Structure 1
Amino acid sequence: MVKTEKKRTFLLEFEKPLVELQARIDQIRELAEETNVDVSGQVSELESKAEQLRLEIFSSLTPSQKLQIARHPRRPSTLDYVQAMTDDWFELHGDRRGNDDPALIGGIARLDGRGVMIIGHQKGRDTKDNVARNFGMASPGGYRKAMRLMEHANRFSLPIITFIDTPGAYAGVDAEKLGQGEAIAYNLREMFSLDVPIITTVIGEGGSGGALGIGVAEKLMIFEHSVYTVASPEACAAILWKDAKKSEQAALALKITAKDLLHLGIVDQILPEPPNCAHSDPLGAADILKKAILDNLEYLSSLTPEQRKNLRYDKFRKIGVFLEG
Structure 2
Amino acid sequence: MGIVELRKVVKRFGQTEVVRAIDLVVEKGEFLTFLGPSGCGKTTTLRMIGGFELPSSGEVWLNGREVSALPPYKRDVNTVFQSYALFPHMSVRQNVAYGLEQKKLPKAEIARKVAEALVMVRMDAFADRKPREMSGGQQQRVAVARAIVNGPSVLLLDEPLGALDLKLRKEMQFELKQLQRKLGMTFIYVTHDQEEALTMSDRIAVMNGGRIEQIDVPTEIYNRPRTRFVADFVGETNLLAGAVERTGGEHVLALGEARVPIAPAQPLEAGSSAWLSVRPETVALREERGGVGDVALEGTVEETVFVGNHRKTIVRLPGGARIVATEPPSARGALEPGKRVYVGWSSESAVVLEA
Normalising to structure 2: TM-score of the pair? Answer: 0.25
Which structure features the higher share of strand residues? Answer: 2
Normalising to structure 1: TM-score of the pair? Answer: 0.27
Give the number of the structure whose alpha-carbon radius of gyration is greater: 2
